[in-house]
Amino acid sequence: MTSANLTPHAFKILENVVFLKKTSLFASMRTHDLRAIAAVAEELSFEPGEEIVHEGDVGDALYLIKEGRIRITKKVGDSESVDLAEIGTGECFGDMAVFDAELRSASAFAKERCVLLRIDGEDLIDVIVECPFIAIEFLKMFVKRLRNANGRIEKLSRTEKSPRKLRDRSPMWRRDDGKG
Amino acid sequence: MPFSRSHTLPLFFLLFGSFGSAILGDSTAEALLLARLGSKYVPGLFLINAAFLFLLSSMIMSVIDRWDRGNLFLAFIGTHTVVLLCIRLLINFDLPLLFLFLFSYAYVTKILIFLLFWTLTNDLIDSRRAGSDFPIIAAGGTLGAILFSFAIPNMLKFISAENLLFVWAGAMIVTGGIFVSLKLSFASAFKPVGDRYLQLSFRWKTLRDDLNLVRTDPLLRTMAIFYFLLFFIVLNQHYSFYDQLNAYFSGTEDQASQLAGFLGYFNGVSMFSTFLLQVSIAGIVIRKAGSTRSMFILPAAFCVVFSALLVMGIIADDLEPKAAAALLFWGVVIGVGTRIAFFDSFFSPNFQIFFSSLPQNVRGRGKLSIEGVVKPAAMITAGVWLFLVAPRIPFLMQISLLLFLSVIMVLQTRRLKQKYTASLAQYLRGFKSKNTQLIRAINVSSKETLFLDLVENVLKKEEPNVKAYVIDMLATMNSTESISILIDYIPRADSKTRATIISALSGIRHPQAKDVFLRFLDDSDKRVVANCIDALSRYRSQEVFEKVERFLKDENPRIRANAVAALWNSATSERKEELALVLRHMMDMGYPLYSASALYAMGQIRFPNLVEELGSYYADHPDWVGGDKTVWRQYVLALSSTGQRESVDVLLKISDVAGRKQRNQISTAIGLLMNRGVSTGYLISRLPGINYMQRGVLLKALHVRAFERGRDSLRVLQDIAGKEIRSIYSHWVAFDAVAREKPNPGLVLLQNSIMEECINESLRNLFYVASMLDGSGQIRRIVHRLFHTNERVRAQALEVLDNAGDFRTNRSIVKLLETSDPAIHTTDARTLYKMKPRNYLSVVNEYAHCPNTWVRECCSYAMSCHFTESGEVPHEQALPQAKVRFLPHVEGSEKQK
């Protein structure tokens, strides 16, 4: 049995595997499966203020921040835009756009010098076809997000219900309803 | 698990108070009854106790799952205390019936307090934790009983037996106080689940539903039978105890105090023995044997006690009456003491585990049905027996009957263990829809004209996938009508559907089919032609050969390969050589479709020396075969078509470099080989000589199949399990060595790869082996639940593992799964296998030889990172392999920098 031979390219791929494993998106995936993703990932650098994705464009790739910070903004009028969020190392954007055909809902700008991993949607789909276990991991991740969203909705509906209950019990409200 | 371990101590003290006060109450009530009225009323009181228990439990039954259990417990303690004080006041009026009531009341309240206590405990502790926590909590109860029992004779020096009722009431108040502190911390755990409808009144429907639950649930039904037998035996034994006690102390001065004092000492000694048993042997036995296996101990103790009494009874016939009475008295007393000790050490804590494995809404109702109906039924039966039958048969016959029932209890315990495991496995499996099978049944059996019309209509209008489904269905029906529909439809169908129909018809023998295949050999679509030739390869006629011959030079690879297959079987040996050359040429052309088509044809015609041919083909073109999924699939299928053992060797060899999906395909291919005659016995015998990855592939194919459970096969599987367990510990030691190092990306990756590719894969192999060793098939059903996110579900899956299949293997798996702390596993590895902690360089050196290519790649990366960061050159002695293997990569990466 001989040891695998590491070329500089292979070294880079493995370096990216380690990075992907640290991100919340891919943390639960097996490193061997991540190798297939890392192999199709492209490393990109952006200078401060440079636009990475543009709102309204076709979303075709998933981006992971390897270094630096990204500002996510959304247009509110013809010329104005508001900052929605700021994300940093290990976080990602554009993951949903890989699986549906919707347009980018916001723009992303480099806040400082950034290094990103770009995973092309089609490449990712190819990897998934070759290694369907990755799709299962994505499904798990989306289910987890759905559960969290359900939890938040339930929590919100509870906080909304409580004042209504109080309102229903209050004689003032009954009077307003014309029954008191 | 939302609750911390901190509830164990309050529960310990709660049971201390509850059990202590119950023992005090029992001793007081028994002494007052025996002293004032004798033992003659005891069988009758059993009946009254049964009625009390039934009525009270029926009431509780309707509220326990619908009410806050914490409030229920507090309400019970409050009421109980008030009743005790009232009884004490009424004793002053010298009412003989009051002592009968007190006896029954003490008994019923004791039962209810324990019932509520264990229900509350089950709300806080899951079935896995129960094994370790319940004995501690039970020890609290025993300790309370001992202290209260020994206190009784001392208290009697200052107060009368009647005034022990005040002490009893005081103990209940203190117990209530302990519970209030517990309730403040864990109030939410006692809240009702689901149906919040409060139903205080007794309802026959509720009772009927709950009894129905006991009747239909296999586990509850078995528990009920076990419980009935147990209490019939216990009550018979206890009646003998009262009888002997009354005879022994009759005529003594201040009989009530004498009896209360003796009972105090008796309870104290028996409880102290229980305590000693619990802190010494019981814990070890339960831990080693498991909760359910420990349930055998009480019935076994009964067998020993009654056998001894039987012998004593025979010996007593030859003794003087006084000596004979003393022998039997102490025999009975020691027997009861033994039963109490074994009951509380091995039965009480473990029986609760069966309940804790049930869903919460079933658990409470099942428990109350068993306590409130089955137990009263046992008491009534015992009461009637003691009233009507026991006095009329000799003592030795009574004991013989109890011995016989004890033996039945042993058998029932075995059944209980099986049902418990099956019940857990069924619960963990979830529910399966029956609709799919129903639809399949309709599809295959339906030959109605209306149905065929409908299908024909679908064939005309629907999209290709639906059409393919309908075509397959019609071909499977294989009736004159269904085949006519297909044949008539071919000329009107699009090319893809034509190809699908030809393919579907090729699998069946139909008189019209051959003409159809010949007719469509000139079809414009190559797929249709290829399928027609493939179908014609099943016919050996001159007409077919003549028509197919011309396709040997066709450009389309499928057509050419299928033509070879169609001509092969009736060709001469020289002709076969020519045809073989056509296929070999196709394989070497360098186009995946040509290679795949040739491989398909080779599999179809049973090409001579196919295994060797394929083996050498892989040796010459490993990347070609492994890199293209079409070639790979046909290659593996061709190997599986041989039905030869040698194919298994080739498949296992290529599995080393295969990906996960490819390994699954190899397992399927091995399954096909088994269908074609390769025996499971042979495959099992191959397991020891192959590496863990190859074993994984082979076990995946094997574990779903029935095999002859011969001694040799089982021994091989047990050895394999031992080997996998050892290697998992070895991987954990390696993992720990890497984890202890200052982390760098290389080590992080290596750590992950050891976990994912070595520990988890070996564990998977271990599950397959455990599942094969389990004749009941329960483990196969729950394996995927062992990693469930919900701790209770995981605990239940571990329980199944603990109770089914091979005890030794499964125990080791449970131990491996209970923690993911590498330090703990390393310590276990040292204890179990004398493995020493390792240096991470030696780990890298070892894993650089791992059969898994990914792990080897991670080793290279780890070393590259290490030497790149440190600038060190690996010391030859510390890492002889590394110097040779890894230095070039370090240089490469440095150049890149």
pLDDT in tens, B634-660: 999 999 998 889 999 999 999 988 888
Report which secondary-structure segment, H or E, holds B185: helix B164-186
Separation between Cα atoms, residue B263 and residue B52, nearest integer Å: 24
pLDDT, average across residues B144-168: 83
Q: Which tens digit of pLDDT belongs to each residue from B721-761?
A: 999 999 999 999 999 999 988 888 888 999 999 999 999 99
Instruction: Please state, in angstroms and rounded to a whole number, the distance separating the CA atoms of residues B488 and B507.
Output: 18
Please tell me whether residue A176 adopts helix, strand or coil conformation: helix
CB atoms inside a 10 Å sphere around CB B92: 8
Query: Quick one: average pLDDT of B671-684?
Result: 91
The per-residue pLDDT for range B806-848, each reduced to its tens digit, is 888 988 998 898 888 999 999 999 999 999 888 888 898 889 8
Checking B583-586 for CB contacts under 8 A at 24+ apart, the result is B583/B607, B586/B557, B586/B560, B586/B561
For residue B756, the chain A residue with the least C-alpha distance is A30
Per-residue HEC secondary structure of B276-326 comes to: HHHHHHHHHHHHHHCHHHHCCHHHHHHHHHHHHHHHHHHHHCCCCHHHHHH
In the predicted model, is pLDDT for residue B454 greater than 90? no
The answer to whether B735 touches B759, Cβ cutoff 8 Å, is: yes
Question: Residues 729 to 748 of B: which have CB under 8 A from any A CB?
Answer: 745, 748
Q: Which pLDDT score is estimated for B448? A: 56
Kindly report the number of other CB atoms within 10 A of residue B185's CB atom. 13
Rounded Cα distance, B654 and B694, in Å: 9
CA-to-CA distance for B685 and B683, rounded, in angstroms?
5
Q: Which candidate, B638, B639, B707, places its Cα nearest to that of B679?
A: B707
Residues in chain A: 180
Res B254 pLDDT > 80: no
DSSP codes, B354-389: HHHTS-HHHHHHHHHHIIIIIHHHHHHHHHHIIIII
Average pLDDT value over all residues in chain B: 82
Judged by a CB distance cut-off of 8 A, whether residue B194 touches chain A is: no
Percent of chain A at pLDDT above 90?
22
User: Distance (Å, rounded) from C-alpha B101 to C-alpha B812?
Assistant: 53
Residues in contact with B246: Cβ distance below 8 Å, sequence separation at least 6, in sequence order: B34, B38, B39
Block residue for tokens 């075709």:
A60
| Distance between CA atoms of residues B275 and B271, nearest Å | 6
Q: Does the CB of B749 have a partner CB in chain A at under 8 Å?
A: yes
CB proximity B866 to A under 8 Å: no
- pLDDT for residue B524 is more than 90: no
How would you label B397-416 residue by residue, b for 16+ Cβ within 10 Å and e otherwise?
A: ebbbbbbebbeebeebbeeb
Does B36 lie at the interface with A, CB-CB under 8 angstroms?
Answer: no
Mutation to test the B interface, candidates A3, A9, A14, A28, most B Cβ within 10 Å: A3
Q: How many helices (H) and strands (E) does chain A have?
A: 6, 8
pTM listed for this prediction: 0.71
Say whether pLDDT at B876 is over 50: no
Q: How confident is the model at residue A169 (pLDDT cuts 50, 70, 90)?
A: very low
Residue keyed to tokens 């216990």: B234
Residue from the list B629, B849, B893 with its beta carbon closest to the beta carbon of A11: B893
Task: State the pLDDT confidence band at B883, using cuts at 50, 70 and 90.
Answer: very low
Task: Count CB atoms within 10 A of the CB of residue B477.
Answer: 21
Q: What is the pLDDT of residues A40-55, one digit of tens each?
A: 999 999 999 999 988 8
Q: Is B626 on the interface with A (CB under 8 A)?
A: no
Closest by CA position to A52, among listed A16, A40, A44: A44
Residues A108-145 pLDDT 10s: 999 999 999 999 888 888 888 877 777 887 888 788 87
A117: phi then psi, degrees, rounded to nearest 5: -105, 125
CA dist A149 and B603 (Å) reads 52
Q: Counting beta carbons within 10 angstroms of the beta carbon of residue B296, is it exposed (0 to 12), middle (13 to 18) or buried (19 or more)?
A: middle
Query: Is residue A76 predicted with pLDDT exceeding 70?
Result: yes
Run of H or E including B272: helix B255-277
The neighbouring-strand residues paired with A86 are A71
Most B CBs within 10 Å, among A23, A28, A32, to test the B interface: A32
H/E stretch holding B266 reads: helix B255-277
pLDDT in tens, B358-367: 766 677 778 7
For B844-864, letters b (16+ CB in 10 Å) and e give: bbebbebbbbbbbbbbbbbbb
CA distance B674 to B754: 32
Structure tokens at B600: 């398909």
Alpha helices in B446-537 (DSSP H): 449-461, 464-477, 480-489, 495-506, 513-519, 526-536
Among B152-161, B582-591, B862-871, name the most confident range.
B582-591
B757/A contact by beta carbon, under 8 A: yes
pLDDT digit string, tens, across residues B770-785: 999 988 888 888 888 8
Q: How confident is the model at residue B304 (pLDDT cuts 50, 70, 90)?
A: very high
Residue B877's contacts (CB-CB under 8 Å, 6 or more residues apart) are none
Residue B790 pLDDT exceeds 80: no
Contact B737, B846 (CB under 8 A): no
Residues of chain B found within 8 Å of residue A17, distances taken between Cβ atoms:
749
Section B89-97 average pLDDT: 81
Give which of B46, B849, B708 is closest to B376, Cα–Cα.
Answer: B46
CA distance to partner chain A, nearest, from residue B124 (Å): 24
C-alpha of A128 from chain center: 18
Q: What is the pLDDT of residue B871?
A: 61
Is residue B25 helix, strand or coil?
helix
Cα-flanking dihedrals φ and ψ of residue A70, to 5°?
-125, 140
- Predicted pLDDT of residue B298: 92
d(CA B400, CA B580): 82
- A11's tokens: 């070294």
pLDDT band at B69 (very low <50, low <70, confident <90, very high): confident
Asked if the C-beta of A126 comes within 8 angstroms of chain B's C-beta atoms, the answer is no
Can you tell me whether residue B805 is helix, strand or coil? Answer: coil
* Chain B residues whose beta carbon lies within 8 Å of the beta carbon of residue A132: 661
In the predicted structure, residue A173 carries a pLDDT above the cut 50: no
Which of the four pLDDT bands, split at 50, 70 and 90, describes residue B48? confident
Interface test mutation site (partner A, options B854, B867, B895, max chain A beta carbons within 10 A): B854
pLDDT at A66: 92
Answer left, alpha or beta for residue A68, where phi above 0 means left and psi between -120 and 50 means alpha.
Answer: left
Across the interface, do B756 and A30 touch by the CB < 8 Å criterion? yes
* Distance of alpha carbon B460 from alpha carbon B473, whole angstroms: 15
Query: What pLDDT is stored for residue A177 in this prediction?
Result: 35
Q: What is the pLDDT of residue B665?
A: 92
Q: Is B857 on the interface with A (CB under 8 A)?
A: yes
Q: Which range, of A41-55, B59-73, B160-174, averages the lowest pLDDT?
A: B59-73
Other beta carbons within 10 Å of B606: 12
Nearest CB partner across the interface for A3, out of B753, B851, B860: B860
Of B660, B861, B896, the CB nearest to A131: B660
DSSP B604-658: HHT-TTHHHHHHHHHHH-HHHHHH-HHHHHHHHHHHHHS--HHHHHHHHHHHTT-
For the ranges A85-89, B160-164, B294-298, the lowest mean pLDDT is seen at B160-164
Q: No. of H helices and E strands in chain B? A: 45, 0
Q: Tell me the CA end-to-end span of chain B in Å, nearest whole number.
A: 50
Q: Determine contact: B848 vs chain A, CB below 8 A.
A: yes
Q: Is B787 near chain A, with CB under 8 Å?
A: no
Highest mean pLDDT out of A75-89, B344-358, B478-492, B826-840: B826-840
The two structure tokens encoding residue B774: 């389990």
Q: What's the burial of B727, exposed, middle or buried (CB within 10 Å: 0-12/13-18/19+)?
A: middle
- B633 and B668 Cβ atoms separated by less than 8 Å: no
Is B777:B422 a contact under the CB 8 Å cutoff? Answer: no
Question: Tell me, what's the pLDDT at B484?
Answer: 83
Contact B859 A6 (CB under 8 A): no
The structure tokens listed for B689 are 């000589």
Find chain A residues with C-beta within 8 A of B660's C-beta: 32-33, 131, 133
- Closest chain B residue by Cα to residue A17: B749
Q: Is B897 at the interface with chain A, CB within 8 A?
A: no
DSSP string, B37-53: H-STTHHHHHHHHHHHH
With a pLDDT cut of 70, the percent of chain A lying above it is 84
Residue B463: what are its φ and ψ, rounded to 5°? -75, 165
Residue with tokens 């202290």: B147
Structure ipTM: 0.77
